Structure 1
């Protein structure tokens, strides 16, 4: 048992006692009580807070897009990131509506933005990854740089007082990378099983899905023998720069009394990587929603996380995590501010 897990176990009984003594029948608020307990355990307190909160979106391009695995070319990544920087995409609109600070970090766009303003930050050292189909996606130094970018982002947010840290991503082709990562980190290497993990991502058609499955099988076969104990090597072989940055963000956040809110498929692959490299950091995580992408379910099972929402979402970009914030606010308010039965009788 890790230190984080030990602290969570010690606190769990006190949390349940608190919930049972609030002015309501025990368990009558259902999943909101479970969510309140998760907030308490991730923050190591009986009075968890959901504000201030911060969302970081990491963006990078993927060489594997050249293999025809996506409905969109890599150029779309940069176009979307420009709109993200101006808070005109779903994640930016959601963050503004919910009072969540927001940054978009270029950790590997093929084409840098014309200017970095608004929410955009340039931390790119490498302009995209190599194609994971035939070669390692990145070198170890490139992995280390991306990880450090994520670490610095989380550290800055926590130093500014954030209690909830949300991570998101943008990168055409990154569902291919995420499925490879999850399959290898979860030790799923049978070809038929891997095929069942592959979803359409950003709208791949039937022909693109055939290519996508073939590329994923090829990449997994290329690195056969790597398993969960080789997490950094797996990331170098088949990962994405934004996925590594997001994993570093999660791992850094787990070192403090903050709650990490995990989004969809790509974010869950990053969470799996973070927990493989920093065992126990899953204890700081809350899964926001169930994606329609099938590989996410395998990663969630390995992380022992139960998603809050099932809204048939598949956009990524932290949108599912942001959508879950109102429920988290209610769960926090309930356990922090409701009267107890003893107070009613006083």
Structure 2
């Protein structure tokens, strides 16, 4: 029979082992996050200039991951967040890098008044995806140059060109960035100014003839010759989602979103339908971003959405695309239905 002394020794050993196990578990938490960061770096091809920068980025990554997991656990919205290519940036860094702030040049107005296509909406299909009709090129990446306006305008022009000719061409954003001087280059601009330039210039060349560099340079006249496609004009869409829906049934449409980064930064694969920072379409203010609406539909649970093409590469969103809630407020989610435009062929 064990003595009381032996029993006390056994109890002390058990308590000691428990303490070690608890300490090991606590120590395992940080390496787990470190391991996630290392894997994330490999997946996104990220490297840092020194250990201090890496430590700084790890802390930001850790804070963002905890925020994402807390948001998803709450389950209060129609979408979830996910770790993506921007997960080692603070919100302020994200806004400064990927969004446009400040005054933009005045928008040029179409030479003729806009007409609402499909005014009755009687012929509008319940679902549309211009990718399935061959009118959308693959996802592009603007990099750290705020020329989303050029990518949106080019995507809309690529769409109408394919619809008109049957040929899908990758047209040049860099030509717009370098040569369309009424816009602000990497500091922002309007798609309507881009469309006006394309008309005045007699079209755009292929991306292969004037490749994207992610920085504004001097206009290369030699590369700007021999336009591959052109347009005859452009139109602004009347405000409101009904007008936007009517326009999208005919072609991809350029739109401007107003938001403050917020949840937009963490929209990732299989996130669901984005419904704003508050779930009711409000996305904050102060910053602008341009995208291209390439379709719309209704989810299995009955939520209507817009299908948007972005220009942040395939490492953001649903392989570079985004589903945004449709019909949740008068302006559209992030004001998506207030400043839309499209080129005419």
Structure (1 or 2) with the greater helix fraction: 1
**Smaller-chain TM-score bracket:** under 0.3
- Could you tell me the TM-score, scaled by structure 1's length? 0.23
> Which has the larger Rg?
2
Q: Which has the higher contact order (CA 8 A, sep 6+)?
A: 1
